[in-house]
């Protein structure tokens, strides 16, 4: 597979990589409990980092007024505060950089007419969603400032889901711009089974989105055993005061059970996809993307199991999230390439 090197593709690739990076930065911000350290949303002046002790004391005094400090971190020192402040500030700063990386090249590309009309709606949609994501980010932070010591898992899931939607649209556009340059005769990625990979993409996306509820409710800390739940086949649920479907979004035992079970379900689906290849006499060894997916998916399971036994250390949690990004992008690639055939629209479309 060869990718056409042009300024539009380079821009899309830069956006894709930047979104991957900010998802990881956001993941560490969450893991390090840094997300509530900045209690205001100042889109312009908020870019400034505290430069002296007076400014640091002002920021620290704002943090000392919220419940997280009073109920959880009341013994926190100023130096400890500087650490969590940096990660929240850096997360917001990098988000601003992505906004600039989107807007400045876009203006140039429009002036120079480097973007085909066909992509206008999608490109402007990416910009709109980036703006929406900024609002969702503050909406999420607000949920943790009063009356609780953590952000709402619903708003956290909304924030993470939107990040992957933006990533998916950007990466899919990058692939679509360059997919016609694949050599049909030597290409070993295509499978002609578009719907299997579309379903797989949906499953991976849903599992990632639901993972935000695991993180948002700290459900992963409830059980340090696998595959059982402290020796039980199903998690033991006591004092179940919540009823109905809301259990699966607010009750930790339900959430971790669904997350683990759905991972097993996806594993069975992946096995079926591999079997389908074998049955149709496709050479799996030459289908490099599927091999990469298989390896990455197994690695994702192993990381999840290791996290469980080791009480979710930050480095494994971050590796788990980073590996999820790879899974998501590889699945999009397989789906896009499975759509491509000599008779497809991609081959006929004159970009």
Judge contact between 72 and 118, C-beta under 8 A.
no
* Alpha carbon distance 23, 21 (integer Å): 5
- Per-residue pLDDT, 277: 80
* Alpha carbon distance 16, 9 (integer Å): 10
Judge contact between 62 and 40, C-beta under 8 A.
yes
- Per-residue pLDDT, 118: 92
Placement of tokens 């889901």 in the chain:
161
Residues 6+ apart with CB under 8 A from 250: 153, 217, 242
Nearest to 172 by CA among 347, 346, 348: 346
Low-confidence stretches of the chain (pLDDT < 70) are 1-5, 181-192, 239-242, 281-286, 340-351
Placement of tokens 């640091």 in the chain:
56
- Per-residue pLDDT, 1: 44
- Per-residue pLDDT, 278: 78
Q: List phi, psi (to 5°) of 229.
A: -110, 90
The residue count for the chain = 351
**pLDDT tens per residue, range 157-188:** 999 999 999 999 999 999 999 887 665 444 44
Judge contact between 203 and 335, C-beta under 8 A.
no
- Per-residue pLDDT, 244: 83
Measured at the CA of 331, the angle between CA 211 and CA 15, to 5 degrees, comes to 80
**pLDDT tens per residue, range 319-351:** 999 999 999 999 999 999 887 643 344 433 433
Q: What's the pTM? A: 0.91
Annotate 113-171 with DSSP letters as a single string. T-S-GGGHHHHHHHHHHHHHHHHHHHHHHHTTTSSSSS--HHHHHHHHHHHHHHHHHHH
Coil, helix or strand for 229?
strand
């Amino acid at each position: 597979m060869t990718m056409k090197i042009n300024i539009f593709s380079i821009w899309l690739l830069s956006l894709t990589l930047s979104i991957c990076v900010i998802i990881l930065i956001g993941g560490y911000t969450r893991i390090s409990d840094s997300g509530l350290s900045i209690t205001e949303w100042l889109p312009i002046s908020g870019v400034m980092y505290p430069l002296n002790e007076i400014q640091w004391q002002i920021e620290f005094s704002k943090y000392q007024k919220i419940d997280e400090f009073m109920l959880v971190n009341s013994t926190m020192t100023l130096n400890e505060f500087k650490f969590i402040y940096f990660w929240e500030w850096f997360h917001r700063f990098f988000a601003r950089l992505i906004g600039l990386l989107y807007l400045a090249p876009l203006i140039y590309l429009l002036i120079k007419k480097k973007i085909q009309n066909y992509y206008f709606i999608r490109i402007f949609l990416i910009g709109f969603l980036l703006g929406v994501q900024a609002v969702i980010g503050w909406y999420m932070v607000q949920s943790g400032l009063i009356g609780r010591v953590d952000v709402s898992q619903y708003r956290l899931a909304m924030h993470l889901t939107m990040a992957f939607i933006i990533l998916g649209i950007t990466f899919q556009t990058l692939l679509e711009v360059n997919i016609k340059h694949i050599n049909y005769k030597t290409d070993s990625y295509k499978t002609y089974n578009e719907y299997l990979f579309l379903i797989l993409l949906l499953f991976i996306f849903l599992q990632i989105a639901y993972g935000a509820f695991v993180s948002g409710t700290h459900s992963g800390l409830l059980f340090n055993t696998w595959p059982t739940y402290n020796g039980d086949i199903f998690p033991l649920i006591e004092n179940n005061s919540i009823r109905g479907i809301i259990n699966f979004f607010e009750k930790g035992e339900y959430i971790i059970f669904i997350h683990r079970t759905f991972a097993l379900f996806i594993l069975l689906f992946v096995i079926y996809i591999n079997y389908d290849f074998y049955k149709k006499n496709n050479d799996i060894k030459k289908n490099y993307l599927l091999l990469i997916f298989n390896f990455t998916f197994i690695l994702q399971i192993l990381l999840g199991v290791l996290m469980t036994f080791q009480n979710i250390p930050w480095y494994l949690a971050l590796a788990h999230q980073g590996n999820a990004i790879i899974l998501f992008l590889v699945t999009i690639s397989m789906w896009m390439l499975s759509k491509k055939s000599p008779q497809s629209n991609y081959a006929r479309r004159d970009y």
